Amino acid sequence: MLCQKCNSRDAEIVYKEFSNGKLITMNLCWKCAEETANAVREIPQEEMEPPDSSTKCPKCGLTLREFRTNFQLGCSYCYEYFLPFFREVLDRVIHRSSFSGERIKPDRFSIYLQSEILKLKDELQDLTDREEFREAIKVRDKIHKLESILKWISSN
């Protein structure tokens, strides 16, 4: 789907805006979202585009201008360095101001796998009792697969 503003780039984000007390959402590309957000804040162009547009990330050398061209960052440090420049867009496209989750850890899935295997074993017993062997073979293969993942997790 194309961006609803420029009609040329792909729409990547759902942009939210309050207008006359109503929430309006638009599918926009990143560039148009940023422009719209800045227009709403009525920030003069000069301020958004500091005269020193060659402002560089001290770690990877990415300039603000480069970032603005394709909205890609150069390294982890860019997030600290350039965040003030796209904070406003983030606030518009997300419904919360920061991430409150944590890293994805594989450990909790051992528990998921174990319970899943138990469930499947019940199902297998059921199918065998009802002599539905074709289905039973599928379930048995699934159990094997999950068991091998479980084994693999504990050995890593």
Partner 1 sequence: MDILKLIEHVPDYLYESTEDIVLFSSVKFYRNLEGLNFTPKLTDEQRKEIQKRILEKVLALPMWDKNYNIIESDQAPYELLLILHERGIAGNGTLEQRKSTLLFDNEERYVIRINERDHLTFSIRSSFHNFEESAQESLIYIGLMDKTLGFAYKDGLGYLTTSPRYLGHALNITAMCHIPAIFTLGQIQNFSSILQKYLIVLSGIMDTSMQTYGAFVQLKITSFFDTFDEVKNKMHSAFEEIRDLENQLRNIIVLERPIEVEDRISKSYAILQNAKLLNLAEAFENLSTLRLGVDLGYVKEIHPNFFKEAFLRILPNHVRVFYAVQGDDLTKEAEMRALLIQELLDKYHYAS
Residues that bind Zn ion (CB under 5 A): 3, 5-6, 9, 29, 32, 57, 59-60, 62, 74-75, 77-78
The residue within the footprint of partner 1, chosen from 53, 72, 114, 125 (CB under 8 A), is: 72
Judged by CB under 8 A, does residue 152 bind partner 1? yes
Nearer to Zn ion, 84 or 101 (CB): 84
- What is the amino acid identity at position 80? E
> What is the C-alpha separation between 107 and 156, in angstroms, rounded?
11
Q: Which of 6, 40, 118, 153 binds partner 1 (CB under 8 A)?
A: 153
Interface with partner 1, residue 30, by CB under 8 A: yes
Angstrom distance (rounded) from CA 23 to CA 17 = 6
Rounded CA-CA distance 140/46 in Å is 66
Residue from 8, 10, 121, 133 in contact with partner 1 (CB under 8 A): 10
CA atoms within 13 A on the CB side of 81: 17
Residue 55 binds to partner 1 (criterion: CB under 8 A): no
Helix (H, G, I), strand (E, B) or coil at 114: helix
Query: Which position has the token pair 């959402």?
Result: 25
Give whole-number Cα distances, 86 to 12, 26, 80, in Å.
15, 18, 11
Binding site for partner 1 (CB under 8 A): 1, 10-14, 25, 27, 30, 60-62, 66, 70-76, 78-79, 86, 90, 93-96, 98-99, 101, 103-107, 109, 112-113, 116, 148-149, 152-153, 156
